[in-house]
Homo-oligomer: A and B are copies of this chain.
Amino acid sequence: MTDIYEIIGQIAAILTTSSFAPQVYKTWREKSSKGISLAMYVMIFVGVAFWLVYGLHIKSTPIITANIATEIMVIMMLYFKFKYRE
């Protein structure tokens, strides 16, 4: 079950998911979403929902956990995009 590739998948999941954290923090700190693409985050929001369905089907823990966490961050970015629009 827990082989090297599952660990690699988990590291991948942790990195790509937590990557949104510095952007969320930066946008919140600067109170500006000027440089942020709304289209990007809308597409990620929908795409991540589809990844979640796929991950549940192939029973891939890294895909499931990564996409739940990513979706939370993406919702925060979408909120900031409107809250801090100029």
A53 contacts B by Cβ under 8 Å: yes
- A12: interface (CB < 8 Å): yes
Most chain B C-beta atoms within 10 Å of own C-beta, residue among A15, A21, A27, A48: A15
Does B39 contact A36, Cβ atoms closer than 8 Å? no
Copies in the complex: 2
A: contact size bracket? 35 or more
Which of chain B's residues have a CB closer than 8 A to the CB of A16? 43-44, 47-48, 51
* A34 at the B interface (CB under 8 A): yes
Q: Is A72 an interface residue (CB 8 A)?
A: no
From 1 to 47 in chain A, residues with beta carbon under 8 angstroms from any chain B beta carbon are 5, 8-9, 11-23, 25-27, 30, 32-37, 39-41, 43-44, 46-47
